[in-house]
Structure 1
Amino acid sequence: YILPQPDVRVNQVGYLPEGKKVATVVCNSTQPVKWQLKNAAGVVVLEGYTEPKGLDKDSQDYVHWLDFSDFATEGIGYYFELPTVNSPTNYSHPFDIRKDIYTQMKYDALAFFYHKRSGIPIEMPYAGGEQWTRPAGHIGIEPNKGDTNVPTWPQDDEYAGIPQKNYTKDVTGGWYDAGDHGKYVVNGGIAVWTLMNMYERAKIRGLDNWGPYRDGGMNIPEQNNGYPDILDEARWEIEFFKKMQVTEKEDPSIAGMVHHKIHDFRWTALGMLPHEDPQPRYLRPVSTAATLNFAATLAQSARLWKDYDPTFAADCLEKAEIAWQAALKHPDIYAEYTPGSGGPGGGPYNDDYVGDEFYWAACELYVTTGKDEYKNYLMNSPHYLEMPAKMGENGGANGEDNGLWGCFTWGTTQGLGTITLALVENGLPATDIQKARNNIAKAADRWLENIEEQGYRLPIKQAEDERGGYPWGSNSFILNQMIVMGYAYDFTGDSKYLDGMFDGISYLLGRNAMDQSYVTGYGERPLQNPHDRFWTPQTSKRFPAPPPGIISGGPNSRFEDPTINAAVKKDTPPQKCFIDHTDSWGTNEITVNWNAPFAWVTAYLDE
């Protein structure tokens, strides 16, 4: 049975009573259309007329808006009908209006990180269900010998010019990055920063004893150990990062630098548990970008842990400062894309501009230490106090300059540093801190303009350069924009930014051209078949459906995998370039750096 697409598109989970509530109606009438809101018993509780908006460019749908923000009566199973529209689908999916819409969702979003842990068995009662348990992956046993003794990549033309000695490292632990079993410092960097930033913001606002920020708040093995659970989860990744740093003994010429990634020699097929992975694994060479991600996140970790585990915090800071000095000494070891740099057993994560990473690392080190060395560096950076509104603007070439609206990604990180300067007390002039906050609000203002132009009220719109359309992970751009909108609301108190967040989350949970909730376990049409080695029931009945709370990368009109190429015509509007199929890594992969902002946003909205 294929669920029909209703004419009225809503947030399929529901709306907060006091929050902004807008539905998008697919209708080619140029006149307002009557609508009725009914409760679960079928009784009309509200009615009105739509606002026609015409042709929506990104979806090529003719749409109207239906704003019912003033209706705040809590209830379950509300739905819309269009009594004068002669259509078999003149209704909406049912939805709720209640205060706890995001309460469980934030925990489910955070549980993703436990599920993605490497080097530890995933077991009950933490896994959420027996079907999601699995043995520890990559721990030094057959068939892959795991991550206890991983050799460096053999020197060849692929990495010509990058210093590389032969040694092996124990790089157990950390999170599997995405649908594969690779572990990548740059992608892990922005993900772990986002989780720690959630905690840091909560602590500054006096919320550190609430929800996932307290000890015992999350369902993980470390609960009730005396430390905030979200920091425990982040520490799992930070401890792995430490193992990726080159020691003096291994190679004095690049000591302090950090390996870019570790992954399989060749891509494995779907339907592959990590402990069954047959591929040999290699450390890819060091990179300046990975080293600066390391410096930034370990400096951030140091200040958050100093009151809980001062020994761990001091070690983080020492290693972060060593990494900073190493990056200054080797400022141009780029992770460049070459035909084989994917391994081909892992993503390349190529980035040949690291000015943004230098700025971000300097910001984190300065806020943690107060040292003039870092203060002088960041104040002289071309990225000082910058919050991008669009990728690649202001001449900032970077790893993810893809023409789309957005603020930060794994390859574009200056916005992370600016948030830290705006959030955490530091020694910068008060006028500069206010400017950072103003720049955050200005970026958000530009995205609010996009929302008003978009039929489905989302803060991105298709790229205007020759690449056009929506890129890989388009949903993640929206999530990161929502983090910035959250800070704009924190710093200004202007509710328009909160409204922008409600619009963004409603798009992701079903108010879109696909009538698709892009989150597993939530909505009438939830995501069901992400691109993942384990949660892949389409591959085999042996493998389980995914747990709830995982977000898909979403529409990608650049046709990067064979499945979307076969299923969708090339002239399909960008917002409809999506297929909920396990083989579509271009539209339906899942990653740590997409679920981290999803956790940030749902926790914020639940406050």
Structure 2
Amino acid sequence: MPPSESLRRRRTLCAVLLAGSLLVGGALTAPAAAAVPTAAAATTAVRVNQVGYLPDGPKHATVVTTSSQALTWQLRTASGTVAASGSTVPRGADHASGQSVQVADFSSYRDTGSGYVLTVDGRSSDPFDIRANLYDGLRSDAMAFFYHQRSGIAIESSLVGSAYAHPAGHLGVAPNKGDTSVPCQSGVCDYTRDVRGGWYDAGDQGKYVVNGGISTWLVVNSFERAKRAGTHEALGDSTLRVPERGNGVPDVLDEARWELDFLMRMQVPDGKPYAGMAFHKVHDAAWTALPTRPELDSQVRELHRPSTAATLNLAAAAAQCARVYRAYDAAFADRCLAAARKAWTAARANPALYAPDSDSTGGGAYGDAQVTDEFYWAAAELYATTGESAYRDAVTSSSWHTSASAFTRYGFGWADTAALGRLTLATVPNGLPAADLTRVRSSVTAAADTHLSTMAGQGYGVPIPTDGYFWGSNSELANNAIVLAVAGELTGDGRYRAGALEAMDYLLGRNALGQSYVTGYGETSSRNQHHRFWAHQVDASLPNPPAGSLAGGPNSGLQDPVAQERLTGCAPAACYIDDIGSYSTNEVAVNWNAPLAWLAAYAAERATDGGEQPTASCAVTYTVDNSWSDGFTATVTVKNTGSSAVDGWRLGWSYSGGQRVTSAWNATVTQSGTDVVARNVDWNRVIPAGGTASFGVQGSKSGSNPTPTAFTLDGGACA
């Protein structure tokens, strides 16, 4: 990839060279030779998703072979019975893996069972399952990663098991020095801040606003998308392993709130220089030794200078919070919105306060000198939440909205966030003109089409290009899979869902190394990811990473000593080693697990409902029947223009003029911020093909009463 892109997507090299080295007693040492394995050879030439496949999903395997002729494949049950057979398709040289491959497609087989094996030319795959609940466990484990990474709270054995339990870290209890009263770096400020809580970012124990912002957005967006699909109960209260379960709030929002509270604590207080901005990060003054349990870290913690990028991450995440949390905790939503507005105003007043790449002692620099994309993202979130014209104008005047593509061939990430704003505008009801909204949604499907084209040209079906195997490549792949999933939501086209699921196949073993990159999932899975506490490889008294932790993945840059020693000459997709010292290929991070959790929830819900996202076939008429100085009534009619009946419906829209629904008839209507959702009542639950359902609303207004311009039926756009 271009060097400028690479720099924007990874930590500063000089910083991570220190981060990944093993520190013993404060001295840098190389890992012992016996502790550094060579890159593992795949156990079989027949590469599959080692967890399995959904009955109604795509089922592809890649076969490494020098043969140029099609080969016969057989799908065998656990008892050895041949359940299906066919011929592979030769693909020849696969440049990313450096292998010659063929592809077997057994998607038409839909029976369920455990212990299936695919045999090709006398060689057999690892065993795998075909079942509808395939991703239920990963949905839970991938989300549990964030509880494990919490700072400032005891991690309870009743939730994670005794091996992973530990006292609260960084609460100022000896030997910890913080994070309850953290000083700034010299010259940054003359006061201290309570910045307890939040998630440890990665394998170290630093906390970064720019990485926390995108990670929080993905976690909350997972719930917001599931709510549109009507499947959010799977992420509801008492569904995940969090201490807040049973409080009446969806568990996934409880988890994200732990980080949101921290992000708002990082905001510079009123009366101080740069008030309203966000400190860029907080971490140890020097790199934390490996291994170190969080509660035993004795170093001084430091706040680092505020940055425009961090401030806009806070604005975006807090604006999203105000929209999604309002139905569960209006006071918290108000606090989020106030923080978002203040951050936006501060960022506008300080548009070029960049975090320097040189600030890399004790933690990654996360430097980012291009923040127009963060401005676009934050404006989009504030507009989607408030409907206010000032934020709309900031959206529509942005170059990311009017000309530049928000999606790159590599994908979005912590330094490239315009796509997040575009996804919000495409899916959350808002007041953009119909033509503009169509263009926004078309840009999502165009990006998804690019990813599908990239996948079609590769032997392993990977939605990243051959030159895209850089630091954290697995997260870029997962982010691109999210774009595919959203395109499926917008269009109902099953190709996009299939593409998103096939990306999961790559993460779980159908790849150049035959390696599942998710701890605890698959026959050959990662288990030695780079982490200060999950460090069994260097201290047998400590655990391996818990199940559901995603490794960073292949990185052709080889930016750590272990990778340089063991992987020199590797093909891009093979530049990975499961060693705790290979931080550039094998670290964990919240912004890598967040898209994994998003995709696992997406795959799990599709597994349980057994069907693909239906195409929205509907037309809506919104008629204002009566209007007075501070109120109005309106009739809404939704027509089913499809060929089959709709059984149970949810119609969504947004008000751009500050209107509030006060009552409704013939439907159950709720409002959160500007977003309105109407649900059927018993007597109009079914809308036959060609039929209609009508209901009425009464609302309050102040001044104008603009008519909504965009409607969604069960998450799909209506005409």
Among 570, 573, 577, the residue aligned to 1:572? 570
Q: What does 1:13-162 correspond to in 2, within 5 Å?
A: 13-83=51-121, 85=122, 90-127=123-160, 129-155=161-187
When residues 3 and 96 of structure 1 are mapped into structure 2, their CA distance, relative to the original with a 3 A threshold, is: farther
Contact 1:580 1:588 in 2 (8 A): yes
> 1:116 is matched by which residue type in structure 2?
Q
3-state SS of paired residue (1:254): coil
- For residues 224 and 84 of structure 2, what CA distance do their matches in structure 1 show? 42
* TM-score computed with the length of structure 2 as normaliser: 0.77
Measured on the aligned residues, the alpha-carbon RMSD in Å equals: 1.3
- For residues 269 and 165 of structure 1, what CA distance do their matches in structure 2 show? 27
Residue 185 of structure 1 deviates from its aligned partner by: 0.3
- For residues 269 and 153 of structure 1, what CA distance do their matches in structure 2 show? 20
Residue 407 of structure 1 deviates from its aligned partner by: 2.8
| 1:228 aligned partner | 250
Contact 1:448 1:459 in 2 (8 A): yes
| 2:672 aligned partner | none
Residue 307 of structure 1 deviates from its aligned partner by: 2.2
- For residues 387 and 188 of structure 1, what CA distance do their matches in structure 2 show? 24
For 1:497-539, what per-residue CA distance to the aligned partner results, in whole angstroms no more than 9, with x for missing partners? 1111122111110011111000000000011100011111101
Residue 124 of structure 1 deviates from its aligned partner by: 2.5
Structure 1 residue 406 and structure 2 residue 404: aligned? no
Structure 1 residue 211 and structure 2 residue 234: aligned? yes
Point out 4+ residue stretches in structure 1 off by more than 6 angstroms.
Answer: none
Contact 1:124 1:130 in 2 (8 A): yes
Structure 1 residue 477 and structure 2 residue 482: aligned? no
- For residues 65 and 71 of structure 1, what CA distance do their matches in structure 2 show? 16
Q: What does 1:315-326 correspond to in 2, within 5 Å?
A: 315-326=335-346
| 1:418 aligned partner | 422
Q: What does 1:360-379 correspond to in 2, within 5 Å?
A: 360-379=377-396
- For residues 601 and 131 of structure 2, what CA distance do their matches in structure 1 show? 15
3-state SS of paired residue (1:132): coil
| 2:363 aligned partner | 346
| 1:432 aligned partner | 436
Structure 1 residue 491 and structure 2 residue 490: aligned? yes
Contact 1:31 1:52 in 2 (8 A): yes
Contact 2:407 2:419 in 1 (8 A): no
- For residues 203 and 36 of structure 1, what CA distance do their matches in structure 2 show? 40
Q: What does 1:266-281 correspond to in 2, within 5 Å?
A: 266-281=286-301
- For residues 366 and 448 of structure 1, what CA distance do their matches in structure 2 show? 31
Q: What does 1:554-569 correspond to in 2, within 5 Å?
A: 554-569=553-568
| 2:624 aligned partner | none
> 1:379 is matched by which residue type in structure 2?
T
| 1:383 aligned partner | 400
- For residues 41 and 335 of structure 2, what CA distance do their matches in structure 1 show? 54
> 2:350 is matched by which residue type in structure 1?
H
- For residues 296 and 109 of structure 1, what CA distance do their matches in structure 2 show? 23
Contact 1:32 1:51 in 2 (8 A): yes
Among 318, 324, 328, the residue aligned to 1:308? 328
| 1:601 aligned partner | 599
Structure 1 residue 588 and structure 2 residue 586: aligned? yes
| 1:182 aligned partner | 206
Contact 1:139 1:148 in 2 (8 A): yes
Residue 3 of structure 1 deviates from its aligned partner by: 7.6
Contact 2:550 2:593 in 1 (8 A): yes
- For residues 244 and 56 of structure 2, what CA distance do their matches in structure 1 show? 36
Residue 268 of structure 1 deviates from its aligned partner by: 1.6
For 1:154-198, what per-residue CA distance to the aligned partner results, in whole angstroms no more than 9, with x for missing partners? 02xxxxxxxx33111010000000000000000000000001111
- For residues 3 and 130 of structure 1, what CA distance do their matches in structure 2 show? 33
Contact 1:388 1:406 in 2 (8 A): no
For structure 2, the residue ranges without an aligned partner over 5 or more in a row are: 1-36, 606-719
Q: What does 1:478-557 correspond to in 2, within 5 Å?
A: 478-557=477-556
Structure 1 residue 355 and structure 2 residue 372: aligned? yes
- For residues 364 and 51 of structure 2, what CA distance do their matches in structure 1 show? 33
Residue 421 of structure 1 deviates from its aligned partner by: 0.8
| 1:449 aligned partner | 453
* TM-score computed with the length of structure 1 as normaliser: 0.91
When residues 197 and 314 of structure 1 are mapped into structure 2, their CA distance, relative to the original with a 3 A threshold, is: same
- For residues 459 and 327 of structure 1, what CA distance do their matches in structure 2 show? 34
- For residues 108 and 41 of structure 2, what CA distance do their matches in structure 1 show? 30
Contact 1:335 1:351 in 2 (8 A): yes
- For residues 66 and 4 of structure 1, what CA distance do their matches in structure 2 show? 18
For 1:449-474, what per-residue CA distance to the aligned partner results, in whole angstroms no more than 9, with x for missing partners? 111111111111222xxxxx611000
Contact 1:121 1:134 in 2 (8 A): yes
When residues 500 and 438 of structure 1 are mapped into structure 2, their CA distance, relative to the original with a 3 A threshold, is: same
Contact 1:387 1:418 in 2 (8 A): no
Contact 1:302 1:312 in 2 (8 A): yes
Among 279, 285, 292, the residue aligned to 1:265? 285
3-state SS of paired residue (1:101): coil
Contact 2:50 2:508 in 1 (8 A): yes
Structure 1 residue 328 and structure 2 residue 328: aligned? no
| 1:201 aligned partner | 225
Contact 2:44 2:125 in 1 (8 A): yes
> 1:175 is matched by which residue type in structure 2?
W
Residue 306 of structure 1 deviates from its aligned partner by: 1.7
For 1:124-174, what per-residue CA distance to the aligned partner results, in whole angstroms no more than 9, with x for missing partners? 3211x111101100001222312011001102xxxxxxxx33111010000
Structure 1 residue 173 and structure 2 residue 171: aligned? no
- For residues 559 and 3 of structure 1, what CA distance do their matches in structure 2 show? 18
Contact 2:154 2:165 in 1 (8 A): yes
- For residues 220 and 47 of structure 2, what CA distance do their matches in structure 1 show? 34
Residue 4 of structure 1 deviates from its aligned partner by: 5.3
Contact 1:387 1:440 in 2 (8 A): no
Residue 411 of structure 1 deviates from its aligned partner by: 0.6
When residues 438 and 171 of structure 1 are mapped into structure 2, their CA distance, relative to the original with a 3 A threshold, is: same
Contact 1:177 1:184 in 2 (8 A): yes
3-state SS of paired residue (1:126): helix
Contact 1:387 1:443 in 2 (8 A): no
Contact 1:537 1:545 in 2 (8 A): yes
Residue 406 of structure 1 deviates from its aligned partner by: 2.8
- For residues 405 and 445 of structure 2, what CA distance do their matches in structure 1 show? 9
Larger Rg: 2
3-state SS of paired residue (1:55): strand
3-state SS of paired residue (2:401): coil
For 1:213-240, what per-residue CA distance to the aligned partner results, in whole angstroms no more than 9, with x for missing partners? x111111111111111111111100100
Residue 388 of structure 1 deviates from its aligned partner by: 3.8
Contact 1:150 1:171 in 2 (8 A): yes
When residues 545 and 170 of structure 1 are mapped into structure 2, their CA distance, relative to the original with a 3 A threshold, is: same
When residues 424 and 389 of structure 1 are mapped into structure 2, their CA distance, relative to the original with a 3 A threshold, is: closer
Residue 82 of structure 1 deviates from its aligned partner by: 2.5
Sequence identity percentage: 48
Residue 365 of structure 1 deviates from its aligned partner by: 0.7
Question: 517-526 vs 307-316, which deviates more?
Answer: 307-316
- For residues 315 and 602 of structure 1, what CA distance do their matches in structure 2 show? 30
Residue 248 of structure 1 deviates from its aligned partner by: 2.1
- For residues 592 and 201 of structure 1, what CA distance do their matches in structure 2 show? 20
- For residues 80 and 143 of structure 2, what CA distance do their matches in structure 1 show? 36
